[in-house]
Amino acid sequence: MITQWKEEPKAGVTFPEGFVVSGVRCGIKSLGNDLAVLVCDSVANVAGVFTTNHVQAACVQYSRRVARGGKVRAIVVNAGNANACNGEQGDSDNRSMADWVSRRLNVPPDHVLTASTGIIGHLMPMEKIKAGVEMAVAQLDRGAEADKNAVEAIMTTDTYPKYRAAIVDCDTWVEPIRFGGMCKGSGMIAPNMATMLAFLTVDVRMPSELLQEALNRAVAVSFNSVTVDGDTSTNDMCLLLASGMGGSEITVTGQAFEDFVEALSRFCITLAKEIARDGEGATKLVHVIVKNAPHYAGAHKIAKTIAESPLVKTALYGNDPNWGRLLMAAGRAGVPFDQNKVDAYVGTHLVCSQGRSVEFDRLGAHEYLKNKEVDVVVDLNMGEDSATVWTCDYSYDYIKINAEYHT
Amino acid sequence: MITQWKEEPKAGVTFPEGFVVSGVRCGIKSLGNDLAVLVCDSVANVAGVFTTNHVQAACVQYSRRVARGGKVRAIVVNAGNANACNGEQGDSDNRSMADWVSRRLNVPPDHVLTASTGIIGHLMPMEKIKAGVEMAVAQLDRGAEADKNAVEAIMTTDTYPKYRAAIVDCDTWVEPIRFGGMCKGSGMIAPNMATMLAFLTVDVRMPSELLQEALNRAVAVSFNSVTVDGDTSTNDMCLLLASGMGGSEITVTGQAFEDFVEALSRFCITLAKEIARDGEGATKLVHVIVKNAPHYAGAHKIAKTIAESPLVKTALYGNDPNWGRLLMAAGRAGVPFDQNKVDAYVGTHLVCSQGRSVEFDRLGAHEYLKNKEVDVVVDLNMGEDSATVWTCDYSYDYIKINAEYHT
C-alpha cells in the first residue's frame, strides 16, 4: 500500500539517486535546446516500450535491441529530426550518435540508447549532432537546472515542458523509492509528425525482467491510455532506467512489486495526462471513463474509441453534452454490450439513462464542459471493470496547426 | 464482361422496371421533404447490409429481420429523427410506421422495411409520420419528379441530393439490367449524428440469397470503402430490391452472376463517391489507393487507416504533399509491410521512393492537391492486390459544423 506520495516541484529525471543529465542547443531545431544526454552513474537496469507502427525510425529498431540486453549507461536524444524513413544512412547515423556518446563517456557502445523526434525523411545533421554530444557530455549535472535543460531539448510542438518527480513510500518497501521523468507529446505533428517520448528514472534495485513487466503494466494504463488524434508515431518510445542506488530492492514478484507497479502507474499517469492536456489546439483535458464493463480490455477499447471520435471531440470543443455521440462511438468499438443498460454522465449530470434520453440540466452540463478538465462517463452496467482514457477536444487550432504547416 | 454502361441523368430508384416512389414533407425536419415510400409492383427479392454498431436504431433491428425473409413490397424511410435510443417506445413506433404502410398498400406487414435518419434520443412525432405515410402512398409515381422528391426526403446535412440510374449490358446476360439508387451520407452528424442510407433497385430476376451475396461484395468495395470521419452510425443501412420485371434472370453463380456483381459494384461506387465528396466541410474528394499489397484485406485496411487519419486529412486540406503522414498512417494499420519497399505518389508525383525522401516538384504536387478530386497512392511493392478508399479532407468547416451544433 502506498503510504507516502510526495511530488517534488521543478525536479525531473535526476531526482532519483544515480543520474545526471544535460540539455543543449546544437541547431537541429530553429529555436531552443535540441539534444539531451542522460547518464546513470552505475550500470542501470532498463525496460522499454516502443511504437507498434510498422514504419519505424532507426532509433526505435536500435534501442529495442539495446533494451533487450537489460543493461545500459546512457540515453542520447535529439529533437528536430526523427531520423525516420532515411534507409541505411539513417541506421548508420543513429549508430554514430550512440558511438560518440559511448566514446566520450567511456562506456560500451551497446549500453547507449538513442531516441529522436522531429521531421521525417530528412538526413540527420551529423556535424551538429557531434558537436551537441560534446557539449552535452561536458554539461552533465543533476538538479533543477539540468532537468529543465533536458526536457526542453526533447520538445517539439509541446507548448510547455512536461516533467515530474516524486518520492514514494509503501509499507512493503525497506526505503522510499524516488521517481523521475520527462516526456513530450502533443499530437502527431511537428513538422511532419510528432512523437510520444518518455524517459523515466528510479533508484530501486530491480532486475530488468521485473522492471519490464512493471513498465508494460504502467504504460498500459498511462501513456497507452492517452490519445490526441489516434495517430501513432514512427518514433514513440518509453524508457525506464533503474539505478539501483536507492535503499530499496525488489527482486521477486509479490506485494512489494505490486506496490511498485501501482506507484509507477500513478507516476506515469501524471505525465501522460499532460500529453493530452497539451494536445494540438486542445482547450481542455477530457477524462473518458468507461465503468462496469465485463473486462478491462473491453472498457479500455470503448473508452479509446470514444476518445478518438472526431464527433465526440468536436462536441466537447463546442461544450455540447451530446450523449448520442458518446453512445454511437461506444457502439462502434467492436465490444458487445446491451444498449438498453447504458447510462452516460457529463461530470455529475446524468445525460442518458438505460440507453434513452433523460431530463437533465442542459445549461448546467454545458457550463460544466467549459472547464479546463472534464469527465465524461459511460456506465455499461454489465460488470465490474473500468478504464480511463485521457484525450483533448478538437478545435479550429488543430486544423490550423496541421493544415497550415507545409513540408 | 460489361459491354454497355449508360447512365441516365436525373433518374433514380424508379428507373428499373417495377418500382414507384414518392417523397413528401410531413414536418419532421425544419425544412424540406422528410418521408419517402418506395414500392415494388410485384413481390421483390431483397438483400440488406446493416450497421455493425452495437448501438442500433429500432429500424435497423427490425429491417434486418424483415430482409432475412428475402421478400418485400415496400420501404418507408424518414429523415429528421433516427428513432435510436428510444427503448421499447421506439420499437413500437417503428412497427406502427411499417403497419400504416402495410395497411394502406394492402401488403403483409412483414413485407415492409423501415429506415430512419436524424436526431437520436427523441421520440418519433407519430402524428406527423402517419399523415406523411398517407400523403406518400397517395403520391406514388415513377419518373424524374418522383425520384427527386424521394431522395430529398432522405437528406439530412447533405448539401445536394445523391441519386443515379444506369442501364447496363453484359455478354452473359439475356437482356440489359437497369440499376437505380439513391443515398445520403455526409458524416456522422445532423443533428446528433448522421447516417449512411442507400436504397438500390434492379429489375433482374434473382433469388434473394444470390442478391445478398452480390450486395455484400458490392458494398465492401463501395459504401464500406468510404469514410468521412471514421464514425459509424447507429442507423446505417443499404437495401437492394430486385423486381424481377426486366428481361434478365440470374439464378445461379457463374459468369453472368460475376458480371452482375461487377456492375452492381461499379454502380454503388458512383453513389459512394458522392458521400465522400459531400463529407462535412469537405473541399475535395480523395481517392486513397493502396497498391501491390499481399492481399485485398490488408490493402483495404491500410487505405482506410490513411483515409481516416486526421493528420493526413488536415494535410490534404492544406494541399500539402506530406508523404511522412501517409507512411505513418499506413504503418499503424496493423498490417505488416517492408517500409523500405514503399513508394508513395500524390497524383503522378513520386513523393517517396523505397520508404525514403526523393526529389520531387513540390510546387507541382501542391498545386495538384488544389483539385476537387485527387489521388494519393501508397505502393507496397509486395504483392498484387489493391484497394481504394474514398474520403475527403478535414477543414475548419468540419469543426464548425460539428462543434457549433448544440443538442
Give the model confidence (pLDDT) of A103-157 as tens digits. Answer: 999 999 999 999 999 888 899 999 999 999 999 999 999 999 999 999 999 998 8
Q: Within the 256-285 window of chain A, which residues sit less than 8 Å (CB to CB) from chain B?
A: none
Spell out which residues of chain B touch residue A192, defining contact as CB-CB under 8 Å: 322, 324-325, 328
HSE value, Cβ hemisphere, 13 Å, CA-based, for B55: 34
Q: Smallest Cβ distance to A310: which of B84, B229, B325?
A: B229
H helix or E strand, kind and range, residue B272: helix B255-277
Q: Within the 181-220 window of chain A, which residues sit less than 8 Å (CB to CB) from chain B?
A: 187-189, 192-193
C-alpha cell at B354: 523505397
- Chain B nearest CA to A360, separation (Å): 12
Model pTM?
A: 0.85
The whole-number pLDDT of residue A299 equals 97
Are A355 and B52 in contact (CB < 8 Å)? no
- Chain B nearest CA to A380, separation (Å): 12
Is-contact A36 A21, C-beta < 8 A? yes
Strand order across the A385-392 sheet: A356-357, A349-353, A343-346, A373-379, A285-293, A385-392
- Residues present in chain A in total: 407
Spell out which residues of chain A touch residue B320, defining contact as CB-CB under 8 Å: 403, 405-407
Are A332 and B54 in contact (CB < 8 Å)? yes
Residues 6+ apart with CB under 8 A from B378: B288, B289, B290, B291, B302, B303, B306, B326, B327, B330, B342, B343, B344
Are B85 and A407 in contact (CB < 8 Å)? no
Instruction: Give the pLDDT band of residue A39 (cuts 50, 70, 90).
Output: very high
Check if A403 contacts B (Cβ < 8 Å).
yes
The closest of B242, B180, B168, B249 to B3, measured between CA atoms, is B168
Q: Which is it for the CA torsion B165, B185, B232, A343, positive or negative?
A: negative
Q: Within the 84-113 window of chain A, which residues sit less than 8 Å (CB to CB) from chain B?
A: 84-87
Cβ burial B123-138 (10 Å sphere, 16+ → b, else e): ebbeebbebbbebbbe
The closest of B403, B407, B392, B382 to B159, measured between CA atoms, is B392
Q: What is the mean pLDDT of residues A202-206?
A: 98
Q: Within the 41-80 window of chain A, which residues sit less than 8 Å (CB to CB) from chain B?
A: 52-56
- For B216, the 3-state DSSP assignment is helix
Q: Are strands B343-346 and A177-184 parallel, antiparallel or unpaired?
A: unpaired
Q: Are strands B285-293 and B373-379 parallel, antiparallel or unpaired?
A: parallel
- Angstrom distances, CA of residue A326 to CA of A32, A283, A295, B46: 41, 19, 19, 33
Are A231 and B188 in contact (CB < 8 Å)? no
Distance of alpha carbon A353 from alpha carbon B311, whole angstroms: 35
pLDDT, tens only, A244-291: 999 999 999 999 999 999 999 999 999 999 988 888 788 999 999 999
Q: Which is it for the CA torsion A114, A116, A121, A127, positive or negative?
A: negative
- Angstrom distances, CA of residue B296 to CA of B216, B335, B384: 15, 11, 9
Q: Which is it for the CA torsion A259, A264, A265, A271, positive or negative?
A: positive
Q: Which is it for the CA torsion B244, B249, B251, B254, positive or negative?
A: negative
Is-contact A79 A154, C-beta < 8 A? yes
Domains of chain B: 2-277 (3.60.70.12), 285-403 (3.10.20.340)
Are B84 and A324 in contact (CB < 8 Å)? yes
Q: What is the mean pLDDT of residues A34-44?
A: 98
The dihedral formed by the CA atoms of A373, A379, A384 and A386, expressed in degrees to the nearest 10:
-30
Q: Which residues of chain B have pLDDT under 50?
A: 188-193
Instruction: Give the pLDDT band of residue A405 (cuts 50, 70, 90).
Output: low
The whole-number pLDDT of residue A157 equals 80
Q: Which residue of B has its CA nearest to A402?
A: B314
Distance of alpha carbon B365 from alpha carbon B206, whole angstroms: 47
Distance of alpha carbon A114 from alpha carbon A73, whole angstroms: 12
Is-contact B85 A378, C-beta < 8 A? no
Computed over every residue of chain A, the mean pLDDT equals 92
Say which of A51, A156, A195, A305 is annotated catalytic: A195
Q: Which residue of A has its CA nearest to B122?
A: A357
Find where cell 452516460 sits.
A344
DSSP A87: H
- Chain B nearest CA to A320, separation (Å): 6
DSSP A249: B
- Angstrom distances, CA of residue B318 to CA of A386, A402, B71, B394: 39, 8, 49, 9
- Chain A nearest CA to B246, separation (Å): 39
Tell me which residues of B are annotated as active site: 195
The closest of A159, A307, A332, A312 to B399, measured between CA atoms, is A312
C-alpha cell at A84: 525516420
Check if A406 contacts B (Cβ < 8 Å).
yes
Which residue of B124, B193, B314 is the best one to mutate when testing the A interface, meaning the one whose CB has the most A CBs within 10 A?
Answer: B314
pLDDT, tens only, B206-254: 999 999 999 999 999 999 888 776 666 788 899 999 999 999 999 999 9
Residue contacts between A and B (CB atoms, under 8 Å): 228
Q: What is the mean pLDDT of residues A164-177?
A: 97
Check if B405 contacts A (Cβ < 8 Å).
yes
Is-contact B33 B118, C-beta < 8 A? no
C-alpha cell at A7: 511530488
Residues 6+ apart with CB under 8 A from A200: A13, A179, A180, A181, A215, A238, A239, A240, A241, A264, A267, A268
Instruction: Give the pLDDT band of residue A193 (cuts 50, 70, 90).
Output: very low
The reply to whether omega before B108 is within 30° of 0 (cis) is: no
Predicted confidence (pLDDT) at residue A192 exceeds the cutoff of 90: no
Find where cell 415492409 sits.
B112
* Amino acid of residue B370: K
Is-contact B306 B233, C-beta < 8 A? no
Strand partners, A378: A290, A344
- For A369, the 3-state DSSP assignment is coil
Is-contact A46 A64, C-beta < 8 A? no
Predicted confidence (pLDDT) at residue A301 exceeds the cutoff of 60: yes
Q: Which residue of A has its CA nearest to B188?
A: A311
Which residue of B52, B53, B55 is the best one to mutate when testing the A interface, meaning the one whose CB has the most A CBs within 10 A?
Answer: B55
The whole-number pLDDT of residue B229 equals 64
Distance of alpha carbon A288 from alpha carbon A307, whole angstroms: 6
- Chain B nearest CA to A96, separation (Å): 20
Q: Are strands A373-379 and A285-293 parallel, antiparallel or unpaired?
A: parallel
Query: DSSP states of B2-47 as a string?
Result: EEEEEE-TT--TTSSTTEEEEEE--SSSSSS--EEEEEEEEEEEEE
Q: Within the 304-323 window of chain A, which residues sit less than 8 Å (CB to CB) from chain B?
A: 308-311, 314-315, 317-318, 320-323
Q: Which is it for the CA torsion A393, A394, A396, A400, positive or negative?
A: positive
The whole-number pLDDT of residue A406 equals 53
H helix or E strand, kind and range, residue B90: helix B87-105
The closest of B252, B298, B290, B256 to B375, measured between CA atoms, is B290
Distance of alpha carbon A301 from alpha carbon A296, whole angstroms: 8
Distance of alpha carbon B178 from alpha carbon B199, whole angstroms: 14
The whole-number pLDDT of residue A310 equals 83
DSSP A29: S
Is-contact A118 A190, C-beta < 8 A? yes
The closest of A172, A188, A194 to A230, measured between CA atoms, is A188
Distance of alpha carbon B27 from alpha carbon B127, whole angstroms: 10
Cβ burial A308-333 (10 Å sphere, 16+ → b, else e): bbbbbbbbbbbbbbbbbbbbbbbbbb
Are A336 and B54 in contact (CB < 8 Å)? yes
